[in-house]
Amino acid sequence: MDMQTYRDGRKEATDAAEAIRAALAGLGLSESVWGSVRPMVTHSGKPYVHLGMVRAEVAEKMAEAMRTATTPT
């Protein structure tokens, strides 16, 4: 992979990770929950966000927020 592909993938992954961190903080979750969210780039340059392991009640809050966001008003 060339350096520009890596940089582009890293920027996209970092932006997405920051968005997830902000959303989790907006739900009132502590940094101990969203602090492990990390941007990642594969060997082929694909951007990913590693969310890590979360407690069940945190996963429920995340799911509820997603359901609420997708429910038509």
Over residues 6-59, the pLDDT tens digits come to 999 999 999 999 999 999 999 899 898 888 899 999 999 999 999 989 889 999
* Alpha-carbon dihedral 70, 45, 4, 9, rounded to 10 degrees: 20
For residues 3 and 45, the answer to whether their CB atoms sit within 8 Å is no
* pLDDT for res 1: 84
pLDDT band, very low/low/confident/very high, at 73 (cuts 50, 70, 90): low
CA distance 26 to 18: 12
Decide if pLDDT at 71 tops 80: no
pLDDT in tens, 53-69: 988 999 999 999 999 88
